[in-house]
Structure 1
Amino acid sequence: MKRLWTPAWIARHVAMVVLVVGFLGLGWWQVTRAAGGNALSYGYAIEWPVFAGFVVFVWWREVRHTLRKGSPEPPATPAPPAAAGSAPPTRTPGVRRPVRVTRRPAAAGADDGDLADYNRYLSWLNANPGARPGDYPG
């Protein structure tokens, strides 16, 4: 709990309280305006408490994150030394080797006719920068 009483956290606590009280005050102000006949203020009277709830949500999430970050994890048990001639030690279950994917290029004669036509169209557009697609002669 001492982690939540550092100067930075005290500033966060104060900011949370000020924002929540301010947002709830603005919500009450909109309720009084709505009671006076301003129909648009009904929406704002709902919106300001939602903002206050969001501030509380973010503050609570950060508090939980800080408390979890500092919690000690159980120490890993060391593996017994391997005897001569025994199998190599297994990997830990959480660590995995990355998989490499190799891509083979397409065969030289396997071009699709539509793909070839589209490539010719693109090269024509590149050669004629001012032309519109409807001007293509092919």
Structure 2
Amino acid sequence: MEAVSVLLKPRWVALHVFAAVVVAGCTWAAWWQFTVAQDGSGRSLGYALQWPAIGIFGLGVWAWLCRDGIRAAREGDSAKPPPPAPAPVRRTPVVTVDPDEDPELAAYNAMLARLHEKDENA
């Protein structure tokens, strides 16, 4: 029963009130569009059918959030995953540049070595 009491906290009460306002607003909008559709507006008839779907979707989201809130209260903090372990430090060999090779290739390899060293220090 204490898991259900989590839904009575102020944050949850605000969510319940918001869900009720959304459903009431969608109901009012559907009724209003239906009365407008009686004058022969096909578009309003479409909206009159769309508003209840939006209200039902809102109720579904509200129920889903409540279910997850109760489930989280029952499981407590044990459901939280442990913090990830720090990544192991990889040691890679340092790239050496041979001065006898092609100058363009040597410059490219030197750039790669600098980037690698910068990445290792970051």
* Same fold, TM-score > 0.5, yes or no: yes
> Quick check: which has more Rg, 1 or 2?
1
Unaligned runs of 5+ in 2: 79-122
Aligned structure 1 segments of 4 or more residues deviating by more than 6 angstroms: none
Task: Give the count of matched residue pairs.
Answer: 74
Aligned to 1:25: 28
Is 1:11 aligned to residue 17 of structure 2? no
- Give CA-to-partner distance per residue, 1:40-98, whole Å, 9 cap, x none: 1111011100110011000000000011111148x9xxxxxxxxxxxxxxxxxxxxxxx
Instruction: Tell me: higher relative CO, structure 1 or 2? Use CA pairs within 8 A at least 6 residues apart.
Output: 2
SS in 1 for 2:41: coil
Partner SS for 2:42: coil
Q: 2:60 aligns with which of 57, 62, 68?
A: 57
Higher helix share: 2
> Is the aligned partner of 1:45 residue 2:51?
no
SS at match of 2:74: coil
Q: How does 1:1-138 map to 2 (within 5 A)?
A: 1-72=4-75
The 3-state SS of whatever aligns with 1:37 is: coil
Distance in structure 2 (CA, Å) of the matches to 1:27 and 1:56 = 16
Distance in structure 2 (CA, Å) of the matches to 1:44 and 1:72: 42
Sequence identity percentage = 35
Distance, in Å, in 2 between the alignment partners of 1:22 and 1:33 is 16
